[in-house]
Amino acid sequence: MSTGAQIATAFKFYDLIWIFLVGNLILGVYVALNCAIGAKTGLTSVMLSRYTLGLGGSKWADLMLGGTQIGWFAFVSAYTGQMFALAFNLPDYAVWFTLFWAIVFGLTAIWGYKAMEKVAYVAIPALLILIIYIPILATQANGGFDAILNALPSTEMSVATAMTAIVGTFASMGTQACNWSRFSKSAKAAFASGFVAFMIGNTIMLFAGAIGGLAYNESDFVMVMLRSGLIFFALIVLTLNIWTTAHAGAYAWAVAGAEMFNKKNQTPFLLGGLVIAIVLACTGIYDKLIGFLVLLGVFIPPLGGVMLGDYFFIYKRRLPRLECIKFKVVRIAPILAYIVGVVVAYVTDRIGFGVPPLFGIIVAAVFVPVFDVLLQKCKVNDRHTVSEDAEYV
């Protein structure tokens, strides 16, 4: 919703409709494919990255995915701290509220999913009420819905940047969707769940934030809630939902860290990431949301792109089981494909052309088999060694 409010003030309402739909369609398909692969293989994203990038290359993927989750955790902690500071009219104490919630979010992640499951039962229905109620209040303010439809942009942002930010909202978590979808009963169910959650769910949340942002001409969603008179209700609802999001992020970076250093105990990595996140949260990441999302939208989708390209074009949707494969240290083709994908996404974002994250995903995926063929012609073996009697998933 915060992203929706920030994007909304840069566009007319009718432009927002297709921007949100296209952006979330890309995000939905991207996440759904990752969900399906996770369900079919039963592997986490960091384990899948070994197939694509090799043992050494996967460490770099671990660092990138874990690092982005630390950044997200820092932002949502700062966001929560800002909400509490404004709600209680204590702006000078925002850092202390941020510090408190960052510690709470981080330490409860140690308890595991059983603890957060109960929070989610309350948080999700309450969030639905907030998503419905904020647009209703917004349309009753400042001239009603006609004023929202006719609102003129008060800030500047290119369509490419808006699309990149939308995909960036869940680019990192979407790439790591395998961590959770691997428990799904089937690949089809995982695909459907991932697509609906992001194509429909994320679109609704963006529109809720956008309508509030347009009605009050505020790009800061915390200020939207304050002006709508919902700050205390929103305080409870959003804190509970942010709690579940932060918990998932902490789990993701702990998994990435443990895999990176080949350790079974994830707790030290969770605590180490928490310290870094607290420093980021208390030193100004709250004001850098769009920039952070654009960064994610440029660098993360091509990583998912090479993993998808490798799975569909090289492995033909059949991965040898872990015990049947000897991993190379580094696979050159996917790394080169990733670099090309990032360059394309970055350049198209800078010049404001098209949909940079989509370009990054497609280019990275397509160039995996291209570079693989080129390396074969150069007599370079870039594939892992698979036993003759290997079993596949």
Lowest mean pLDDT among 36-40, 191-195, 255-259, 307-311: 255-259
One-character DSSP codes across 247-311: HHHHHHHHHHHHHHTT-S--HHHHHHHHHHHHHHHTTTGGGGHHHHHHHHHHHSHHHHHHHHHII
Residue 106 exposed, middle or buried by CB count within 10 Å (0-12, 13-18, 19+): buried
Contact 82, 98 (CB under 8 A): yes
Q: Answer whether residue 186 is part of any domain.
A: yes
pLDDT in tens, 133-177: 888 887 787 677 888 888 889 889 999 999 999 999 888 888 989
Alpha helices (H) along the chain: 2-8, 13-41, 45-87, 94-108, 113-140, 144-149, 159-169, 171-175, 178-181, 187-195, 202-216, 221-228, 231-260, 267-281, 289-299, 301-309, 332-351, 356-377
Q: Which is nearest to 303 in space by CA: 3, 57, 115, 25? A: 57
Report the pLDDT value the prediction gives residue 100, as an integer from 0 to 100: 95
Residue 109 is classified by DSSP as G
Q: Answer whether residue 165 is part of any domain.
A: yes
Q: Answer whether residue 356 is part of any domain.
A: no
Report the pLDDT value the prediction gives residue 144, as an integer from 0 to 100: 75
- Across the chain, mean pLDDT equals 90
Q: Answer whether residue 338 is part of any domain.
A: no
Both tokens assigned to 211: 């309508």
Q: Answer whether residue 153 is part of any domain.
A: yes
Q: Which is nearest to 367 in space by CA: 342, 344, 333? A: 333
Residue whose entry in the numeric block shows the structure tokens 């040898």: 320
Q: Treating both helix axes as pointing N-terminal to C-terminal, what angle do 231-260 and 113-140 enclose, rounded to 10 degrees? A: 140
Q: Answer whether residue 71 is part of any domain.
A: yes
| Element housing 326 (H / E) | strand 325-326
Both tokens assigned to 393: 């998933």
User: What is the total count of domains within the chain?
Assistant: 1
217: left (phi over 0), alpha (psi -120 to 50) or beta: left
CATH number assigned to the domain comprising residue 118:
1.10.4160.10
Lowest mean pLDDT among 39-53, 59-73, 334-348, 365-379: 59-73
Taking the CA atoms of residue 111, residue 113, residue 119 and residue 124 in that order, the dihedral angle to the nearest 10 degrees is 150
Residue 262 exposed, middle or buried by CB count within 10 Å (0-12, 13-18, 19+): exposed
Both tokens assigned to 86: 């404004």
Report the pLDDT value the prediction gives residue 133, as an integer from 0 to 100: 82
Q: Answer whether residue 56 is part of any domain.
A: yes
**Domain with 29 in it:** 2-304
Q: Answer whether residue 364 is part of any domain.
A: no
Report the pLDDT value the prediction gives residue 381, as an integer from 0 to 100: 93
